[in-house]
Amino acid sequence: MKKFFLLIVVASIFFNASAQKFDLAKTPPMGWNSWNKFACNVSEKLIMEMADAMVNSGMKAAGYEYIVIDDCWQVARDENGEIIADKDRFPHGIKYLADYVHSKGLKFGIYSCAGTKTCQERPGGRGHEFQDARTYARWGVDYLKYDWCNASTQDAKASYSTMRDGLYAAGRPIVFSLCEWGTAKPWEWAKEVGHLWRTTGDIVDRWDAMIAILDLERDLAKYAGPGHWNDPDMLEVGNGGMTMEEYKTHFSLWCMLAAPLMAGNDLQNMSQENKEILTNTEIIALDQDPLGKQGFCTRDNGDYEIWIKKLANNEKAACLLNRGDDEKDVQVDFNVLLKASDNYWASDQYKLEDYKVRDLWEHKDLKLDKNTMLIKMPPHSVKVFRFIKK
């Protein structure tokens, strides 16, 4: 009888744990994170302002949800091992901030690290996983980004699994974002551990750095799906290191990749152009499509590539990419684009006459009198089309 009771308890813990994980991040998480723009310059005031700006700028309405404080909010542990927030920068404590973010109808995220110290040498989570998870749950944390600095010879899967167990035991649904930079190939094991995992080192706000990340995502499409996403790192849109054309490309590619969309710019001071990029709901809809398929590259002609993303309801998106430094004229055959598939035998079901084709940056349906079209593509630009069922 005792054994039976134990079995029920264990089974119910397991069942709750899986249910918790799988009910979260059904589509790639969207939000804002402090690191790319503000680095260690975080404070209660800044985070509150960003939460306000998230609402006032239209970002919330476009689907952005999580406000995440990255590194540097923490300074020490007390005699009981409890993590302590910087009192000068966060005078009312983290729970107060979480409550404020929640009062705006948003969710609240925080950062820690699987090693003994964070990347900025603040106290890490190693050895305190269950305690920290309980603290985060008490504060009302909804999202945890967990880094990989100062992890010495720790095993990545074991370390991240310990924190996952801590989060499950704490009982609050918390999106678990692994930031292990792809070193131990998390796409092969992290589906059971967290909801998203970084696949590369840190993004830099430059064209070549951004496009280099794209190249590392090429073979990872099959590992992503609802509740478990490849994370090519946060967005740099609006931080000033790329042209508007390049930011449009960056944003479009991240959406084609079903990447988590964590804006990393100053939401209070956004140019109209940057706002239009980050809140292009037609492009965002590709990222957030419920089928949850990551896009794949179907044509690689050196500087010219075509990426395809399968969408729910047998719809598809196609992204033409000019990676080159020169303008290009490309002849596009929409019939070929629509039928492009990572599975040759599945392509027959798509008939162009069943679809209209929409340009998602021009916000216009194309008037096609034949299947082909000559398109001029500026350097570093994209064209993104959606095949929409008639």
- Residue in 25, 30, 35, 98 binding ligand GLA, rule: CB under 6 A: 35
Q: Could you tell me the smallest distance in angstroms from the CB atom of residue 385 to ligand GLA?
A: 32
Asked if 318 and 344 touch (Cβ cutoff 8 Å), the reply is no
119 part of the interface to ligand GLA, by CB under 6 A = yes
Question: How many other β-carbons are positioned within 10 Å of the β-carbon of residue 17?
Answer: 16
Q: Which lies closer to ligand GLA via its Cβ, residue 119 or residue 255?
A: 119
Footprint on residues 202-241 left by ligand GLA (CB under 6 A): 202
120 part of the interface to ligand GLA, by CB under 6 A = yes
147 is catalytic: yes
Total residues contacting ligand GLA by CB under 6 A comes to 9
Catalytic pick among 70, 71, 132, 147: 147
132 part of the interface to ligand GLA, by CB under 6 A = no
180 part of the interface to ligand GLA, by CB under 6 A = no
Q: Which lies closer to ligand GLA via its Cβ, residue 179 or residue 257?
A: 179
d(CA 41, CA 87): 14
Q: Which lies closer to ligand GLA via its Cβ, residue 52 or residue 202?
A: 202
Q: Which lies closer to ligand GLA via its Cβ, residue 199 or residue 381?
A: 199
Measured CA to CA in angstroms, residue 79 lies from 74, 134, 332 at distances of 15, 17, 66
Beta-strand pair 316-322/304-310: antiparallel
Q: Which lies closer to ligand GLA via its Cβ, residue 70 or residue 266?
A: 70
d(CA 157, CA 52): 37
- Residue in 44, 65, 71, 287 binding ligand GLA, rule: CB under 6 A: 71
179 part of the interface to ligand GLA, by CB under 6 A = yes
Full DSSP string of 269-319: S--HHHHHHHT-HHHHHHHT-TT-PPPEEEEEETTEEEEEEE-GGG-EEEE
Asked if 337 and 308 touch (Cβ cutoff 8 Å), the reply is yes
The interface region with ligand GLA, picked from 115-123, 250-258, 318-326, 337-345 by CB under 6 A, is 115-123
**Residue 152 DSSP SS3:** coil
Q: Which lies closer to ligand GLA via its Cβ, residue 119 or residue 284?
A: 119
Beta pairing partners, 318: 308, 385
**Residue 118 DSSP SS3:** coil
- Closest Cα to residue 260, out of 283, 238, 291, 228? 228
Q: Could you tell me the smallest distance in angstroms from the CB atom of residue 205 to ligand GLA?
A: 13
Measured in whole angstroms, the distance separating CA 66 from the mean position of its chain's CA atoms is 11
Residues lying near ligand GLA in the complex (CB under 6 A): 35, 70-71, 118-120, 147, 179, 202
Residues annotated catalytic, as ranges? 147, 202
